[in-house]
Amino acid sequence: MSHTDLAQRMVRYAELLIKIGVNLQPGQSLNIAADLGHRNFVKEVVAAAYRSGAKFVNLDWIDTPSTRMRYLHSKDEYLDELPDFLVAMRHEFVDHKWARLALIGDDFPNIFDDVEPALMQRVQKTRARLMRFFTEAQMSNRLAWCVAGVPTRAWAHKIYPHLPVDEAVAQLWNEILRLVRVDQPDPIAAWQQHDTNLRKVTQFMHKNQVCRVHFFDPVLADDGQPSTDLTIGLTARPVWVAASAITPEGVRFLPNMPTEEVFTTPHRLQADGYVRTSKPVFPFKREVREAYIRLEKGEVVEFRANHGENVLKSFFEVAGTRRLGEVALVDVRSPVNQSGLVFYDTLFDENAVCHIAFGKAYPEGMAGATDMDEAARVEAGVNASDAHEDMMIGTPTMNVTGICADGSHVMIMQNGQFVDAVFA
């Protein structure tokens, strides 16, 4: 791909994020959160936003080395502080229904490896408490939002360590643009068709009144047991959600680009069994690999990891994170998984295979939950927490069975793939 061709496709990508990602409406304002390393692409997004009639575009720049300096050198008592203007800004976003675009792609992978996870947990806890109203508005889809990826030199090198850096960046751009369907003749139409296909899975789950999901991977692990044997119960009124979401005003948007998942909200007290992660996960931006997690009556009662166990320990110390907030089905034939890459980023890796998330639940996964207060949601089984962390569990040998309201069983996935009946 030539430099000119890449520039043209970046413009198409920027327009796609504005037109179908956040689906920016004329006269609406937009907040963009991005690393400094994304600046060249951000210019294209800003231009696309104003061409689409944005009232104002605010840039929320992230500089992770500066964040690290705070962890390492701030006075201890200041770590619990968050300036009022940052909270007031989020109130502005919610009150005036700003759209939000978050661009990911690490400028400095592993930069927090020398920071104590407990410190990061503490800072996150303060921010989460003060910003809870904003997180709630976003997770309830009262705001249109989208998360999308932008290559950086460091991220590309981590994914393609065998390539010269410039080639690695070009290769990562190629891969991301393919995964978000920019390579299609009509990317918007391609996304609409993809959304329709995923909705067939939601229709299958609703038609069969699936109320519990059983994940079973027969491949024996080092302890001689099947790799995964986990049953997750759902709420009394489960809603399965596909690619797109809708605001209360009826604006349809794509929260994640790419997205290959169909998900719902589990009941916070109904998960029994154990599971092993199949890809790296990143609580507090610290890597955890090859984790084993066992649950009883919805709660984590045992865990270990071959790498990053101390990070996992700190994560599970956050209130509410020992219970599930999401269960998602992803076919191993997804374009993300077929790339053969580990992206070292949840946005991409969660769209490769099935995953579960610990912590805060999405209210849209239970009918009527978006109209409830938090106490009522918890009573109904919707988990509450100030954190939400996806953990990939899918494999090419994973089988998924649905237990229906009448007690019957229906096969959903065999060997990591949706069965034909799902799309019938």
pLDDT digits (tens, 9 = 90+) for 160-218: 999 999 999 999 999 999 999 999 999 999 999 999 999 999 999 999 999 999 999 99
Length of the chain: 424
- Mean pLDDT throughout 306-320? 96
The answer to whether residue 424 scores a pLDDT higher than 90 is no
- Mean pLDDT throughout 129-142? 94
Classify domain 3-183 at the CATH topology level. Answer: Thermophilic metalloprotease-like (3.40.1830)
DSSP 42: H
**What is the Cα 23 distance to its own chain's centre?**
19
The answer to whether residue 285 scores a pLDDT higher than 90 is no
With beta carbons less than 8 A apart as the criterion, state whether 260 and 331 touch. Answer: yes
Query: What are the counts of helices (DSSP H) followed by strands (DSSP E) for the chain?
Result: 13, 19
What is the percentage of the chain residues whose pLDDT exceeds 90? 97
Confidence of residue 271 (pLDDT cuts 50, 70, 90): very high
Which helix (H) or strand (E) element contains residue 26?
none
What's the Rg (C-alpha) of the chain? Answer: 21
pLDDT in tens, 20-65: 999 999 999 999 999 999 999 999 999 999 999 999 999 999 999 9
What is the average pLDDT value for the chain, to the nearest integer? 96
The pLDDT, as a whole number, for residue 37 is 95
Query: Residue ranges of the domains in the chain?
Result: 3-183, 199-242+261-423
- Mean pLDDT throughout 247-263? 97
Please state, in angstroms and rounded to a whole number, the distance separating the CA atoms of residues 284 and 121: 7
Measured torsion, CA atoms of residues 29, 31, 32, 33, in degrees rounded to the nearest 10:
180
Please state, in angstroms and rounded to a whole number, the distance separating the CA atoms of residues 37 and 409: 49
- Nearest CA to 100 out of 253, 222, 315 is that of 253
The pLDDT, as a whole number, for residue 50 is 98
Q: What DSSP string runs through 147-199?
A: EEE---HHHHHHH-TTS-HHHHHHHHHHHHHHHTTTTSSSHHHHHHHHHHHHH
Q: β-strand 99-104 against 57-62: which pairing, if any? A: unpaired
The pLDDT, as a whole number, for residue 52 is 98
With beta carbons less than 8 A apart as the criterion, state whether 414 and 308 touch. Answer: no
Measured torsion, CA atoms of residues 103, 105, 111, 116, in degrees rounded to the nearest 10:
60
Q: β-strand 266-276 against 226-234: which pairing, if any? A: antiparallel
Q: Count of CB atoms within 10 A of residue 355's CB?
A: 25
Q: Name the one residue in this structure whose structure tokens are 């948007």.
A: 253
Please state, in angstroms and rounded to a whole number, the distance separating the CA atoms of residues 331 and 217: 14
- Mapped onto helix, strand or coil, the DSSP state of residue 86 is helix
**What is the Cα 10 distance to its own chain's centre?**
23
Please state, in angstroms and rounded to a whole number, the distance separating the CA atoms of residues 142 and 369: 13
DSSP 408: -
The pLDDT, as a whole number, for residue 1 is 61
The answer to whether residue 264 scores a pLDDT higher than 70 is yes
Please state, in angstroms and rounded to a whole number, the distance separating the CA atoms of residues 101 and 48: 13
With beta carbons less than 8 A apart as the criterion, state whether 244 and 202 touch. Answer: no
